Protein backbone atom coordinates (compact mmCIF):
# COMPACT_ATOMS: atom_id res chain seq x y z
CA UNK A 1 0.00 0.00 0.00
CA UNK A 2 1.30 3.44 -0.95
CA UNK A 3 -0.81 5.81 1.16
CA UNK A 4 -2.07 3.76 4.11
CA UNK A 5 -0.02 2.06 6.80
CA UNK A 6 -1.23 -0.50 9.30
CA UNK A 7 0.68 -1.75 12.33
CA UNK A 8 -0.13 -3.49 15.60
CA UNK A 9 1.37 -2.69 18.99
CA UNK A 10 0.29 -4.72 22.02
CA UNK A 11 -3.24 -5.53 20.81
CA UNK A 12 -3.75 -1.99 19.52
CA UNK A 13 -3.90 -1.42 15.77
CA UNK A 14 -2.70 1.86 14.26
CA UNK A 15 -4.00 2.83 10.85
CA UNK A 16 -2.28 5.85 9.28
CA UNK A 17 -3.40 7.80 6.23
CA UNK A 18 -0.04 8.82 4.79
CA UNK A 19 -0.29 11.23 1.89
CA UNK A 20 1.23 14.30 3.52
CA UNK A 21 1.99 16.16 0.27
CA UNK A 22 -1.79 16.59 -0.18
CA UNK A 23 -2.54 16.89 3.56
CA UNK A 24 -3.65 13.23 3.50
CA UNK A 25 -6.55 14.01 1.12
CA UNK A 26 -8.62 11.01 0.11
CA UNK A 27 -8.40 10.06 -3.54
CA UNK A 28 -9.85 6.77 -4.73
CA UNK A 29 -6.54 4.96 -4.20
CA UNK A 30 -6.36 6.08 -0.55
CA UNK A 31 -9.95 4.95 -0.02
CA UNK A 32 -9.28 1.54 -1.59
CA UNK A 33 -6.16 1.13 0.55
CA UNK A 34 -8.13 2.07 3.67
CA UNK A 35 -10.54 -0.71 2.80
CA UNK A 36 -7.68 -3.17 2.30
CA UNK A 37 -6.13 -2.18 5.65
CA UNK A 38 -9.46 -2.60 7.47
CA UNK A 39 -9.69 -6.11 6.01
CA UNK A 40 -6.37 -6.87 7.74
CA UNK A 41 -7.71 -6.04 11.20
CA UNK A 42 -8.07 -9.37 12.99
CA UNK A 43 -10.32 -9.07 16.09
CA UNK A 44 -8.58 -12.18 17.42
CA UNK A 45 -5.45 -10.05 17.84
CA UNK A 46 -6.41 -6.38 17.63
CA UNK A 47 -8.66 -5.15 20.44
CA UNK A 48 -8.84 -1.45 19.56
CA UNK A 49 -7.92 0.53 16.44
CA UNK A 50 -6.50 4.06 16.28
CA UNK A 51 -6.97 5.99 13.03
CA UNK A 52 -4.59 8.89 12.40
CA UNK A 53 -3.09 11.02 9.65
CA UNK A 54 0.62 11.35 8.98
CA UNK A 55 2.24 14.56 10.21
CA UNK A 56 1.02 17.31 12.48
CA UNK A 57 -0.72 19.55 9.96
CA UNK A 58 -3.66 17.40 8.93
CA UNK A 59 -5.58 14.34 10.00
CA UNK A 60 -7.21 14.34 6.53
CA UNK A 61 -7.97 17.59 4.62
CA UNK A 62 -10.91 16.07 2.79
CA UNK A 63 -11.68 14.17 -0.34
CA UNK A 64 -9.24 14.97 -3.14
CA UNK A 65 -10.62 18.15 -4.72
CA UNK A 66 -8.41 17.79 -7.80
CA UNK A 67 -9.76 14.33 -8.48
CA UNK A 68 -13.37 15.32 -7.73
CA UNK A 69 -13.37 18.50 -9.81
CA UNK A 70 -14.06 16.80 -13.15
CA UNK A 71 -16.41 14.01 -12.05
CA UNK A 72 -19.68 13.49 -13.90
CA UNK A 73 -22.92 12.92 -11.93
CA UNK A 74 -22.56 9.16 -12.34
CA UNK A 75 -18.87 9.21 -11.37
CA UNK A 76 -19.68 11.40 -8.34
CA UNK A 77 -22.22 8.85 -7.17
CA UNK A 78 -19.73 6.00 -7.69
CA UNK A 79 -17.07 7.91 -5.72
CA UNK A 80 -19.60 8.55 -2.94
CA UNK A 81 -20.46 4.85 -2.78
CA UNK A 82 -16.80 3.85 -2.69
CA UNK A 83 -16.21 6.13 0.31
CA UNK A 84 -19.48 5.31 2.03
CA UNK A 85 -18.85 1.55 1.83
CA UNK A 86 -15.39 1.95 3.38
CA UNK A 87 -16.51 4.39 6.09
CA UNK A 88 -19.38 2.05 6.97
CA UNK A 89 -16.88 -0.81 7.14
CA UNK A 90 -14.91 1.28 9.65
CA UNK A 91 -18.01 2.25 11.62
CA UNK A 92 -19.14 -1.37 11.90
CA UNK A 93 -15.69 -2.83 12.53
CA UNK A 94 -16.27 -5.28 15.39
CA UNK A 95 -13.65 -3.63 17.64
CA UNK A 96 -13.67 -0.09 19.12
CA UNK A 97 -12.05 2.64 17.04
CA UNK A 98 -10.48 5.95 18.07
CA UNK A 99 -9.71 8.81 15.68
CA UNK A 100 -6.60 10.68 16.82
CA UNK A 101 -7.13 13.99 15.03
CA UNK A 102 -4.11 16.26 14.72
CA UNK A 103 -4.68 19.35 12.59
CA UNK A 104 -7.26 19.65 9.82
CA UNK A 105 -10.18 17.22 9.65
CA UNK A 106 -12.23 18.74 6.87
CA UNK A 107 -14.89 17.29 4.60
CA UNK A 108 -14.07 13.61 4.11
CA UNK A 109 -11.57 13.96 6.99
CA UNK A 110 -14.24 15.04 9.43
CA UNK A 111 -16.44 12.25 8.06
CA UNK A 112 -13.63 9.71 8.56
CA UNK A 113 -13.25 10.84 12.18
CA UNK A 114 -17.02 10.67 12.72
CA UNK A 115 -17.01 7.06 11.47
CA UNK A 116 -14.87 6.15 14.48
CA UNK A 117 -16.38 5.40 17.89
CA UNK A 118 -14.41 8.04 19.80
CA UNK A 119 -12.51 11.16 18.69
CA UNK A 120 -9.50 12.65 20.47
CA UNK A 121 -8.09 15.88 19.08
CA UNK A 122 -4.94 17.96 19.26
CA UNK A 123 -5.25 21.55 20.50
CA UNK A 124 -4.57 22.53 16.88
CA UNK A 125 -7.37 20.43 15.39
CA UNK A 126 -9.89 22.07 13.06
CA UNK A 127 -13.09 20.31 12.04
CA UNK A 128 -15.61 21.21 9.36
CA UNK A 129 -17.71 20.23 6.39
CA UNK A 130 -16.82 22.86 3.77
CA UNK A 131 -18.67 21.08 0.94
CA UNK A 132 -21.48 23.58 0.34
CA UNK A 133 -18.77 26.16 -0.37
CA UNK A 134 -17.53 23.84 -3.12
CA UNK A 135 -20.94 23.31 -4.69
CA UNK A 136 -21.56 19.83 -3.31
CA UNK A 137 -23.02 18.10 -0.26
CA UNK A 138 -20.94 16.07 2.14
CA UNK A 139 -20.69 12.72 0.41
CA UNK A 140 -19.23 10.29 2.91
CA UNK A 141 -21.99 10.27 5.52
CA UNK A 142 -21.38 13.72 7.04
CA UNK A 143 -25.01 14.84 6.93
CA UNK A 144 -26.05 11.68 8.77
CA UNK A 145 -23.29 11.13 11.32
CA UNK A 146 -22.87 14.75 12.37
CA UNK A 147 -26.59 15.11 13.09
CA UNK A 148 -26.49 11.93 15.16
CA UNK A 149 -23.34 12.95 17.06
CA UNK A 150 -23.98 16.60 17.95
CA UNK A 151 -27.72 17.03 17.41
CA UNK A 152 -29.72 18.15 14.42
CA UNK A 153 -29.73 21.94 15.01
CA UNK A 154 -25.99 22.26 15.62
CA UNK A 155 -25.17 19.93 12.74
CA UNK A 156 -27.36 21.86 10.31
CA UNK A 157 -25.78 25.14 11.40
CA UNK A 158 -22.31 23.75 10.65
CA UNK A 159 -23.35 21.97 7.44
CA UNK A 160 -25.24 24.97 6.00
CA UNK A 161 -22.54 27.53 6.85
CA UNK A 162 -19.44 25.38 6.20
CA UNK A 163 -18.06 27.01 9.36
CA UNK A 164 -14.85 25.51 10.76
CA UNK A 165 -14.76 24.45 14.40
CA UNK A 166 -11.60 24.56 16.50
CA UNK A 167 -10.74 21.96 19.12
CA UNK A 168 -12.21 23.70 22.22
CA UNK A 169 -15.59 24.17 20.51
CA UNK A 170 -15.46 20.62 19.13
CA UNK A 171 -15.06 19.43 22.73
CA UNK A 172 -17.86 21.67 24.01
CA UNK A 173 -20.37 20.39 21.43
CA UNK A 174 -19.41 16.75 21.89
CA UNK A 175 -17.79 16.28 18.49
CA UNK A 176 -14.63 15.12 20.29
CA UNK A 177 -14.14 13.50 23.66
CA UNK A 178 -10.73 14.92 24.57
CA UNK A 179 -8.25 17.63 23.53
CA UNK A 180 -4.51 17.33 24.12
CA UNK A 181 -1.28 19.06 23.10
CA UNK A 182 0.04 17.87 19.73
CA UNK A 183 2.99 16.16 21.42
CA UNK A 184 0.86 13.99 23.72
CA UNK A 185 -2.12 13.22 21.47
CA UNK A 186 -0.89 9.82 20.29
CA UNK A 187 0.19 8.82 23.83
CA UNK A 188 -3.29 9.70 25.08
CA UNK A 189 -4.90 7.75 22.23
CA UNK A 190 -2.66 4.76 23.02
CA UNK A 191 -3.51 5.06 26.73
CA UNK A 192 -7.23 5.03 25.98
CA UNK A 193 -6.87 2.19 23.48
CA UNK A 194 -4.83 0.13 25.96
CA UNK A 195 -7.42 0.71 28.66
CA UNK A 196 -10.13 -0.55 26.33
CA UNK A 197 -7.92 -3.45 25.20
CA UNK A 198 -7.43 -4.54 28.82
CA UNK A 199 -11.15 -5.33 29.21
CA UNK A 200 -12.83 -8.54 28.10
CA UNK A 201 -12.69 -8.27 24.28
CA UNK A 202 -15.83 -10.30 23.60
CA UNK A 203 -17.81 -8.10 26.00
CA UNK A 204 -16.36 -4.90 24.57
CA UNK A 205 -17.25 -5.98 21.04
CA UNK A 206 -20.77 -6.85 22.22
CA UNK A 207 -21.14 -3.39 23.79
CA UNK A 208 -20.16 -1.72 20.50
CA UNK A 209 -22.66 -3.83 18.58
CA UNK A 210 -25.40 -3.16 21.14
CA UNK A 211 -24.91 0.63 21.04
CA UNK A 212 -24.59 0.82 17.25
CA UNK A 213 -27.44 -1.50 16.38
CA UNK A 214 -29.68 -0.36 19.23
CA UNK A 215 -29.52 3.25 18.04
CA UNK A 216 -31.02 2.24 14.68
CA UNK A 217 -34.23 0.75 16.11
CA UNK A 218 -36.93 1.56 18.68
CA UNK A 219 -36.31 0.95 22.39
CA UNK A 220 -38.34 -2.28 22.55
CA UNK A 221 -36.21 -3.84 19.83
CA UNK A 222 -33.03 -2.21 21.15
CA UNK A 223 -33.39 -3.78 24.54
CA UNK A 224 -33.79 -7.21 22.91
CA UNK A 225 -30.55 -6.62 20.99
CA UNK A 226 -28.86 -5.92 24.33
CA UNK A 227 -30.39 -9.04 25.93
CA UNK A 228 -29.08 -11.23 23.12
CA UNK A 229 -25.60 -9.76 23.27
CA UNK A 230 -25.57 -9.95 27.09
CA UNK A 231 -26.44 -13.64 26.80
CA UNK A 232 -23.70 -14.22 24.26
CA UNK A 233 -21.03 -13.27 26.81
CA UNK A 234 -21.90 -16.16 29.13
CA UNK A 235 -19.95 -19.41 29.00
CA UNK A 236 -16.95 -17.54 27.57
CA UNK A 237 -13.62 -18.26 29.24
CA UNK A 238 -13.23 -14.59 30.13
CA UNK A 239 -16.67 -14.33 31.79
CA UNK A 240 -16.08 -17.48 33.83
CA UNK A 241 -12.58 -16.50 34.92
CA UNK A 242 -13.40 -12.88 35.76
CA UNK A 243 -16.44 -13.79 37.86
CA UNK A 244 -14.58 -16.63 39.60
CA UNK A 245 -11.76 -14.20 40.46
CA UNK A 246 -14.27 -11.74 41.96
CA UNK A 247 -15.91 -14.45 44.06
CA UNK A 248 -12.52 -15.77 45.22
CA UNK A 249 -11.42 -12.20 46.07
CA UNK A 250 -8.35 -12.34 43.85
CA UNK A 251 -7.10 -10.32 40.90
CA UNK A 252 -8.40 -11.67 37.60
CA UNK A 253 -5.98 -13.07 35.03
CA UNK A 254 -5.59 -11.03 31.82
CA UNK A 255 -8.44 -11.65 29.39
CA UNK A 256 -7.80 -14.23 26.69
CA UNK A 257 -10.45 -13.20 24.13
CA UNK A 258 -12.24 -16.54 24.29
N1 LIG B 1 -7.72 17.74 -1.95
C2 LIG B 1 -6.58 17.77 -2.69
N3 LIG B 1 -5.47 18.42 -2.31
C4 LIG B 1 -5.49 19.06 -1.14
C5 LIG B 1 -6.63 19.07 -0.30
C6 LIG B 1 -7.80 18.36 -0.76
N7 LIG B 1 -8.92 18.28 -0.04
N8 LIG B 1 -6.35 19.80 0.80
C9 LIG B 1 -5.09 20.21 0.65
N10 LIG B 1 -4.55 19.78 -0.50
C11 LIG B 1 -3.22 20.00 -1.03
C12 LIG B 1 -3.07 21.41 -1.58
O13 LIG B 1 -3.55 21.48 -2.90
C14 LIG B 1 -1.56 21.61 -1.50
O15 LIG B 1 -0.97 20.92 -2.59
P16 LIG B 1 0.25 21.60 -3.43
O17 LIG B 1 -0.32 22.87 -3.97
O18 LIG B 1 1.34 21.84 -2.39
O19 LIG B 1 0.58 20.57 -4.45
C20 LIG B 1 -1.19 20.86 -0.23
O21 LIG B 1 -2.26 19.96 0.03
C22 LIG B 1 -1.04 21.78 0.97
O23 LIG B 1 -2.24 22.52 1.08
P24 LIG B 1 -2.26 24.13 1.16
O25 LIG B 1 -1.10 24.72 0.42
O26 LIG B 1 -3.62 24.57 0.76
O27 LIG B 1 -2.04 24.34 2.72
P28 LIG B 1 -2.55 25.57 3.60
O29 LIG B 1 -1.86 25.45 4.92
O30 LIG B 1 -2.42 26.86 2.87
O31 LIG B 1 -4.11 25.32 3.80
C32 LIG B 1 -6.08 23.95 4.24
C33 LIG B 1 -4.55 24.15 4.50
C34 LIG B 1 -6.50 22.63 4.85
C35 LIG B 1 -6.87 25.10 4.92
C36 LIG B 1 -6.33 24.02 2.71
O37 LIG B 1 -5.44 23.07 2.07
C38 LIG B 1 -7.73 23.63 2.34
O39 LIG B 1 -8.64 24.45 2.46
N40 LIG B 1 -7.88 22.42 1.79
C41 LIG B 1 -9.17 21.96 1.31
C42 LIG B 1 -10.06 21.62 2.47
C43 LIG B 1 -11.41 21.21 2.00
O44 LIG B 1 -12.19 22.01 1.46
N45 LIG B 1 -11.70 19.94 2.26
C46 LIG B 1 -12.99 19.41 1.91
C47 LIG B 1 -12.92 18.77 0.58
S48 LIG B 1 -14.52 18.38 0.03
C49 LIG B 1 -19.09 13.21 -2.38
C50 LIG B 1 -18.03 12.47 -1.89
C51 LIG B 1 -17.13 13.03 -1.05
C52 LIG B 1 -17.24 14.35 -0.69
C53 LIG B 1 -18.30 15.08 -1.18
C54 LIG B 1 -19.21 14.51 -2.00
N55 LIG B 1 -20.01 12.63 -3.23
C56 LIG B 1 -19.65 11.60 -4.11
C57 LIG B 1 -21.31 13.27 -3.44
C58 LIG B 1 -16.25 14.93 0.15
C59 LIG B 1 -15.92 16.22 -0.06
C60 LIG B 1 -14.78 16.83 0.60
O61 LIG B 1 -14.10 16.28 1.40
pLDDT digits (tens, 9 = 90+) for 176-229: 999 999 999 999 999 999 999 999 999 999 999 999 999 999 999 999 999 999
Q: Which atom of ligand 1 is nearest to the CA of 79?
A: 56
Mean pLDDT, range 122-131, rounded to an integer: 98
| CB-CB neighbours of 185 under 10 Å | 23
Q: Give the alpha-carbon dihedral of 132, 133, 139, 144, to 10 degrees.
A: -40
Residue 117: pLDDT band with limits 50, 70, 90: very high
Instruction: Decide if domain 4-197 falls under CATH 3.90.226.10.
Output: yes
Sequence spans of domains, the chain = 4-197, 201-247
Q: Is the CB of 104 under 6 A from ligand 1?
A: yes
Superfamily of domain 201-247: Lyase 2-enoyl-coa Hydratase, Chain  A, domain 2 (1.10.12.10)
Task: Report the chain's mean pLDDT, rounded to a whole number.
Answer: 97
Q: Is the CB of 83 under 6 A from ligand 1?
A: yes
Q: Is the CB of 105 under 6 A from ligand 1?
A: no
Burial code (b: 16+ CB inside 10 Å, e: under 16) for 209-246 equals bbeebbeeeeeeebeebbeebeeeeeebebbebbeeee
pLDDT digits (tens, 9 = 90+) for 71-115: 999 998 999 899 999 999 999 999 999 999 999 999 999 999 999
Q: Could you say which DSSP state residue 49 is in?
A: E
Whole-number pLDDT of residue 170: 98
Q: Is the CB of 201 under 6 A from ligand 1?
A: no
Whole-number pLDDT of residue 145: 98
Which residues does the annotation mark as catalytic?
Answer: 111, 131
Going by alpha carbons, the residue nearest to atom 21 of ligand 1 is 22
Amino acid sequence: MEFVQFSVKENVGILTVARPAALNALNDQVIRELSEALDQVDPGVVRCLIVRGEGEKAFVAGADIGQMSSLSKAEGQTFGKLGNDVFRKLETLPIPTIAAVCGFALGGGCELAMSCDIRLASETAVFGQPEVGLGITPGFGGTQRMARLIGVGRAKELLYTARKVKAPEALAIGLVQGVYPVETLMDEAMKLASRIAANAPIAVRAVKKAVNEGLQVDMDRAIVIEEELFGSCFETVDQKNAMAAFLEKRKADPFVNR
